[in-house]
């Protein structure tokens, strides 16, 4: 019996384990390939105290810190989660079973893909799903951003402050975004709308050089940002029926507790931090969740 099980080994899960261990809570972090959303970034340059580092180096440091503090780490996927009265029961892909008084979910989100040719192969090497995370790597370069909703327009505006040229490719001739973002984008001299078009593939020699469109045209670009938004990864807790918002994010209170007593969540899967999907936010929310669990257990 653990005090707390932490599901997912990423920028949220590891700090949660570290804080739980410092509170002398018996805990285990269970997750498959470590990294979460951070693994989609080639390098990280916006985490305090780290000027520039590969994502794996940061994750290795997070993992080491959690283990040195006292957390157990198991690199397996969780494929079953139940609650039996006050006890959470977890089963992994290899059949291992664990129980805990409390549970923290850090499963993050799944970025929506366009599935154009070479999209997966160039992830972190020109293909990105987060302008805030990776925009600085394309400073003074030409980039393409895809889609026509608020997320695409706001990221387009952000990139226009960094990049030489920003092509906004949208498959329609109208946008499903607020007029304020559309008007601001139109006012930027270095933003060019490419409408009624779809991305077919990316092309390269040593690095990405072109984005090929279905019409046969090509755009010279060093990178492409897919801004179709993302889906919160809540499949594990569907049977518990926690409340979610319209976007599918788990509703949590200021202590990071969901509407299921004893079930906490943090990071990209929740409604907190104004849904600012950044590593520093995930880490902070998980530390708060661990602190809240410590308070609950002290109360008995």
Q: Is 133 a catalytic residue?
A: yes
Catalytic, 130? Answer yes
Residue 225 exposed, middle or buried by CB count within 10 Å (0-12, 13-18, 19+):
buried
What distances in angstroms separate CA 191 from CA 28, 126, 162, 194, 203, one per listed residue?
48, 19, 12, 10, 22
Q: Which of 133, 156, 163, 287 is catalytic?
A: 133
Q: Pick the catalytic residue: 3, 60, 130, 245?
A: 130
Task: Report d(CA 55, CA 59) in Å as an integer.
Answer: 6
The C-alpha atoms of residue 165 and residue 194 are separated, in whole angstroms, by 13
Question: Nearest Cα to 143, choosing from 216, 194, 77, 206?
Answer: 194
What phi and psi values does residue 198 have, to the nearest 5 degrees? -135, 150
* Residue 173 is a catalytic residue: no
Please identify which of the residues 3, 60, 134, 253 carries the catalytic annotation: 134
Q: Just list the catalytic residues.
A: 130, 133-134
């Amino acid at each position: 019996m653990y005090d707390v099980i932490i599901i997912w080994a990423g920028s949220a899960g590891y700090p949660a384990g570290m804080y739980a261990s410092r509170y002398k809570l018996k805990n285990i972090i269970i997750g498959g390939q470590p990294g979460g959303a951070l693994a989609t970034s080639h390098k990280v340059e916006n985490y305090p105290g780290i000027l520039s580092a590969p994502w794996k180096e940061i994750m290795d440091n997070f993992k080491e810190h959690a283990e040195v503090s006292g957390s157990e780490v198991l690199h397996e996927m969780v494929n079953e989660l139940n609650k039996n009265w006050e006890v959470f029961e977890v089963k992994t892909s290899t059949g291992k079973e664990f129980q805990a008084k409390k549970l923290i979910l850090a499963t993050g989100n799944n970025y929506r893909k366009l599935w154009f040719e070479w999209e997966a192969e160039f992830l972190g090497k020109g293909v990105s799903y987060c302008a805030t995370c990776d925009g600085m790597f394309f400073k003074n370069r030409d980039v393409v951003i895809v889609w026509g909703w608020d997320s695409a327009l706001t990221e387009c505006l952000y990139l226009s402050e960094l990049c030489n040229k920003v092509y906004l490719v949208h498959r329609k001739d109208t946008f499903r975004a607020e007029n304020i973002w559309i008007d601001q984008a139109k006012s930027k001299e270095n933003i060019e709308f490419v409408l009624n078009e779809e991305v077919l593939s990316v092309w390269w020699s040593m690095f990405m050089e072109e984005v090929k469109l279905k019409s046969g045209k090509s755009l010279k670009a060093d990178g492409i940002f897919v801004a179709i938004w993302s889906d919160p990864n809540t499949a594990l807790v569907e049977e518990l029926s926690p409340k979610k918002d319209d976007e599918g994010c788990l509703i949590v209170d200021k202590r990071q507790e969901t509407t299921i007593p004893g079930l906490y969540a943090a990071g990209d899967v929740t409604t907190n931090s104004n849904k600012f999907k950044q590593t520093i936010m995930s880490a902070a929310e998980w530390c708060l969740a661990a602190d809240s669990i410590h308070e609950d257990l002290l109360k008995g």
